């Protein structure tokens, strides 16, 4: 009995630490509920750091959810990966695998997202199967693999419905997703400044680019006639070249923006049809 006080003294820090971890975890959950995601992530990581090997999977999930809300998708992916490892049943594991896929989709790493989805085994759970199918469709659409994207999206909607036909019609016009082309915009702008922007639908810069170059060229001619050609080359040509090449880059960017806009518009229409089919 004489050693009892010493044993209690030795165990006190452990008991206090355990209590503190439990309270910190509850506090982290409360922070997340109040949408204070940065603080929730910080407290979650504190719990993970000080916990032993019997750590609760919920704290990894909370850290992952907090990181996801903060758009720290790679960090969220890593926490969801640990959540899969610590999860006690297949239902939880599959849920975290879906979240891993969402992180990679947010990062536009569609191959990695598909890899995460492939690790979800076939299930009789209809809701899970539909979510996997939808995520795969989104990944293929993001990869510009419109054939597989169409196949997966159509599986979400009953055949013969108007929504089914409308999605097929959207993909029938998939040629628009691939135009305007970068190379065409670049060559047009290189041959005739402003033509590349006009081709890409950037009408404002299609007018600005040749106008600005014409003004610079006129300045060069004035310098050459007033002073010398050498002075014009030294003083004016660098500016002309800078804006000439800038116009080419703007044409390429405008083509990319136009394609992205068309893809986004098509994707929004697809989602609308899927939502209508649910009703």
Token couple for 21: 């971890």
Give the pLDDT confidence score for residue 131 in this predicted structure. Answer: 92
Would you kindly state where each structural domain of the chain is located, as residue ranges? 12-136, 178-278
50-59, long-range: CB within 8 Å, 24+ apart, which pairs?
A: 50/17, 50/20, 50/21, 51/21, 55/86, 56/25, 56/86, 57/83, 57/86, 57/87, 57/88, 57/92, 58/25, 59/25, 59/28
Domain 12-136 has CATH 1.25.40.10: yes
Indicate the length of the chain as a whole number.
279
Give the pLDDT confidence score for residue 52 in this predicted structure. Answer: 66
197 touches 205 (CB < 8 A): yes
Give the pLDDT confidence score for residue 54 in this predicted structure. Answer: 64
Chunked in runs of 10, what are the mean pLDDT values of the chain (279 residues)? 44 46 86 93 89 77 95 95 89 93 95 93 84 94 92 90 91 81 91 88 85 87 86 84 90 90 90 85
Q: What is the pTM of this model?
A: 0.76
Cis peptide leading into residue 180 (ω within 30°):
yes
């Amino acid at each position: 009995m004489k050693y009892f006080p010493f044993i209690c003294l030795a165990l006190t820090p452990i008991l206090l630490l355990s209590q503190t971890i439990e309270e910190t975890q509850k506090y982290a959950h409360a922070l997340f509920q109040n949408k204070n995601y940065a603080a929730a992530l910080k407290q979650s990581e504190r719990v993970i750091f000080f916990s032993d090997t019997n750590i609760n999977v919920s704290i990894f999930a909370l850290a992952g959810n907090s990181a996801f809300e903060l758009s720290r998708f790679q960090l969220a992916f890593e926490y969801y990966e640990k959540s899969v490892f610590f999860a006690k049943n297949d239902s939880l594991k599959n849920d975290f695998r879906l979240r891993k896929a969402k992180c990679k989709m947010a990062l536009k790493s569609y191959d990695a997202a598909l890899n995460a989805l492939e690790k979800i085994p076939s299930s009789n759970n209809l809701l899970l199967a539909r979510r996997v199918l939808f995520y795969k469709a989104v990944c293929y659409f993001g990869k510009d693999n419109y054939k597989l994207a169409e196949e997966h999206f159509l599986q979400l909607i009953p055949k013969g419905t108007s929504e089914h036909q409308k999605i097929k019609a959207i993909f029938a016009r998939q040629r628009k997703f691939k135009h305007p082309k970068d190379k065409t915009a670049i060559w047009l702008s290189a041959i005739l400044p402003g033509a590349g922007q006009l081709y890409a639908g950037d009408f404002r810069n299609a007018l600005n680019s040749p106008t600005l170059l014409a003004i610079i060229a006129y300045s060069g001619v004035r310098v050459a006639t007033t002073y010398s050609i050498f002075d014009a080359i030294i003083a004016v040509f660098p500016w002309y070249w800078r804006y000439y090449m800038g116009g080419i880059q703007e044409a390429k960017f405008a083509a990319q923006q136009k394609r992205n806009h068309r893809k986004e518009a098509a994707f929004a229409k697809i989602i609308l049809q899927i939502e209508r089919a649910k009703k």
